[in-house]
Amino acid sequence: MREIRPDSQYQVRKPTQEEYEQLWNYFVSLGHDEEGATNLINQYWYVVLDDYISDCPAYAGKVLIAVYGMPEFYELFIWDNGQIKQIEQESGMRKGLEMVKK
């Protein structure tokens, strides 16, 4: 079998308690009640990529990936000046990925 990306340095990990609390506060700021925000944290999957660097000069830092139920239901979050922030996938990129699937 071919060894792919043997020099890869990235690490995937579970969020820390502090990161979960930041995410919980973010959900509450969107209008979720405390129970709803807690359910979002407890019922779904989250991973953090530390020290992520995009392939163009756009972003370097932590990325949190949330998967809700099915893999097609995901959200991406970054930290901007210490605050968690949800980001949307660029629509042109999404269309390009859909064309590759066909």
pLDDT band at 91 (very low <50, low <70, confident <90, very high): low
**pLDDT, tens digit, for every residue of 50-88?**
988 887 767 889 999 999 988 889 999 999 999 999 998
Give the pLDDT confidence score for residue 24 in this predicted structure: 97
Compute the distance between CA of residue 48 and CA of residue 61 in angstroms, rounded to an integer.
10
Query: Taking a C-beta distance cutoff of 8 angstroms, is the pair 27, 34 a contact?
Result: no
Q: What is the mean pLDDT of residues 37-47?
A: 95
pTM for the complete prediction?
A: 0.78
Give the pLDDT confidence score for residue 69 in this predicted structure: 86
CA dist 44 to 57, 71, 72, 73, Å?
31, 11, 13, 10
CA dist 91 to 2, 72, 87, 98, Å?
33, 15, 12, 11
